[in-house]
Amino acid sequence: MTKETNNRSYSSFAELAKAIGTTPAELRKQYLDKAIADTMNGEKEAGTAATPDELAALAREAEIADMIAQDGVSDSFALAFGDVSALSILEMGAERQELDMPEAAEAQAECHAIVNTIFDLFRDTRLEPSAQAIAWGIVNSFHYEADKLAREEDTLCRDLKSRIEQDDRSEIYATEMEDLQIRAQTKMEQRAAIECMRDYAAECYRSQTGRPWSTARGSRVSSVTTASQIASADFLKARATAMREKRNPTGPLVVFSGGQEWHDYQQLYARLDQIKARIPSMTLCTTGQRKGCDAIAAAWAAQAGVPIVTFAPNAQRFGKSAGFKRNDQLVSLRPVEAIICQGTGIQSHLLDELKAASVPVHAFRYDAQAPMPAEAKRQQWG
């Protein structure tokens, strides 16, 4: 019988922690505390002191471990980063590879750090007014990349549909079809992961600035897709159904409209939460403005996982009456409830139309907002 020695090596904090009867997070903290103390005491020559890079890495590991222990990983990250297909093809002509996603907990923690570090670094310095603009750009970079991946995904799926229509039973055709489907599946998983990080970064931005993040242009549709190995035709059918539901949702409609100048998002979030509690399958319809109330509603919808449809006025067709025509269209959809915030005559007209159609309306006056936080006001005006 071989006697176990005390010289056993461990490949991870988890293994070592298990061996000595503590948790990985506690072990990381103990090791980090000792490394800092050794470095401060100048014990570099003894080989026990950690370098600054090693300290930073250990600190990040400890932070990630704390996040797992305290808050856990959000469902959206668990789905986007955990449920992926076995094989991936990253580029046309590339080989099939078994490539994992980043760990969900690490992706969530690093995404949090990317945005919040900017505010922590600039806070109480002369650079503080720039923090909001830079953080907005970080979130927008995720949004831009998600849009690019979505376009590439659409192209691959159109190619896949076209190939399905070909009557070719050769082995080469079958292999090419399988590769094309794996590429489309890979692109879909990439897009879902980046969308997940974008929405989480946008929530970090909101918590730091007191105002929701909104896109500069384009729509913002988020989805976390589950991955499975399915036939090409079924894959396209499932994807088309999901996209159709996102663009044309079937749930009860709740109309939302308001002015472009609005800061008290808490009262709007609270009312939207109340409506969702009563109507879990609701779909939110907004008037498509990129800032103010509509931006707040879009941010809430992304956070709450509620489908959102924007109805922008068709000025090219209707000219100055486009906003009123759009209001008529919203009322004709027979919404079950509505939220209208004070804005221009467009909002007043929509409020009157909804009341005439006997739609329950929650109206908010501009002067009933809570005072703007001093921090947000200072960032707004620089």
Instruction: Indicate the burial class of 111 (C-beta count within 10 angstroms; 0-12, 13-18, 19 or more).
Output: buried
Query: Which residue reads 């200072």 in tokens?
Result: 378
- Tokens 């396209």: give the residue: 236
Residues 6+ apart with CB under 8 A from 230: 238
The CA-CA-CA angle for residues 98, 15, 20, to 5°, reads: 170
Residue type, 249: P
Contact (Cβ atoms closer than 8 angstroms) between residue 111 and residue 87: no
Checking 230-236 for CB contacts under 8 A at 24+ apart, the result is: 232/160, 232/163, 232/164, 232/177, 232/180, 232/181, 233/164, 235/160, 235/181, 235/184, 235/185, 236/157, 236/160, 236/161, 236/164
Q: Which residues of the chain have a pLDDT value below 50?
A: 1-14, 16-18, 20, 23-24, 44-46, 64, 67-70, 217-218, 224-232, 378-382
Q: What is the structure's pLDDT at 336?
A: 93
Please tell me the distance from the alpha carbon of residue 289 to that of residue 298, in angstroms, as a whole number.
Answer: 10
Locate the domains of the chain by residue range: 13-70, 73-248, 249-382
Predicted local confidence at residue 72, as pLDDT: 62
| Residue 233 pLDDT | 52
pLDDT of 90: 85
pTM of the model: 0.53
Cα–Cα distances (Å) from 299 to 222, 306, 340, 371, in that order, read 11, 10, 17, 20
State the fold for domain 249-382.
Rossmann fold (3.40.50)
- pLDDT value of residue 359: 94
- 172's CB contacts (< 8 A; 6+ apart) are none
How many CA atoms are closer than 13 Å to the CA of 142, on its beta-carbon side?
Answer: 26
Instruction: For residue 54, report the phi and psi dihedrals to the nearest 5 degrees.
Output: -65, -40
Average pLDDT taken over every residue of the chain: 76
Q: What is the pLDDT of residue 12?
A: 44
Q: How far apart are CA 115 and CA 293, in angstroms?
A: 23
**How many residues are present in the chain?**
382
